[in-house]
Amino acid sequence: MKVVIDFHIPFIADAIRSEWPGIDIFPLESEQINAEAVRNADVLIVRTRTQVNEALLSGSSVRLVCTATIGFDHIDTAYCEAHGIRWTACPGCNAQAVCNYVEEVLDEWTNNQLPMPKAPTIGVVGVGHVGSLVAKMAARRGLKVLLNDPPKNIGVSLDASEGIEPFSGGAIADCDIITFHVPLDESTHHLCSESFLSRCKPHALIINAARGGVVDEQALLRSGHPYILDTWENEPHVHTEVLQHAYRASMHIAGYSVEGKRNASQTCLDIIAQSFCLPPVTLPQMDSHGDNAPGWLERITRQLKANPEAFESLRKNYPLR
């Protein structure tokens, strides 16, 4: 049995070598994962950088694709299902890490900006694994929270039972802070559009730690709204002007934590064990050795703005929080 795995996904390769010694492991850089590399593989374990589609899988022996991420817009799920290839993502694996990222954003924003309203309102767009945690965190901090989930066509206030208008309406646009936590698909592409931004408060803060295509970056730049981006259109080739005008910016690492990576790796191992009738493997709990000190996001912003061409390198070498 052969497993091809993205080199930068931690813990899995060592666990397989230790617990399933009969399996051949081939850790590769994402750019090395091509049709030839996976031709004789049974399992493929990737990150968002690998486009898993017909071009990659046609003629291969791959039976299982695992992405160690919550999103799966880089997987052609229809192709996989039509060809009997099982696929899985890791929903919720890094939800707490993304929530912590947004809390750091709120700390930096409220500590460095002109006085906000006494009880600012935050609009949480997308109330799945991540958004629900963000909403609870924001409420705990004393913010008024509005929840909105366009894919589910839901809009509710966290502290009241009455509904609010749909995303395209006025209520969510009237928030002081708007943070996006939706998957990327046809219904959410450019959800944060020029039309939507034109209805927002002039100085409303826009946060995107979901997927790059959820926000129309050029419209955001033209709007004059302050913004904080962790995910970008056309990663890793970020638009320099959009980057330079960001209040805070990071290289798609909001979910990068030891806990999140362990959770994703554990999910992949569970699916492999289940799919191939292997004994279960449990990863140990692990401690973070990354930078959790206050102001870490400001330091990352300076680093990325000074070296936008190093986006992918900075991401690969980011010390897990």
Q: Give me the active site residues, please.
A: 211, 235, 252
Q: Rounded to an integer, what distance in angstroms lies between the CA atom of residue 271 and that of residue 278?
A: 10
Q: Rounded to an integer, what distance in angstroms lies between the CA atom of residue 88 and that of residue 110?
A: 38
Cis-peptide into 236, omega within 30 deg: yes
Residue 73, CB-side half-sphere exposure with 13 Å CA sphere: 14
Strand 248-249 versus strand 24-28 pairing type:
unpaired
Give the largest Cα separation in the chain, rounded: 61
Q: Rounded to an integer, what distance in angstroms lies between the CA atom of residue 272 and that of residue 92?
A: 19
Residue pair 311/235 in contact by the 8 Å Cβ criterion: yes
Residue pair 243/305 in contact by the 8 Å Cβ criterion: yes
Residue pair 293/108 in contact by the 8 Å Cβ criterion: no
Among 235, 230, 240, 249, which Cα is nearest to 302's?
A: 249
The one-letter code for the residue type at 208 is N
Residue pair 206/178 in contact by the 8 Å Cβ criterion: yes
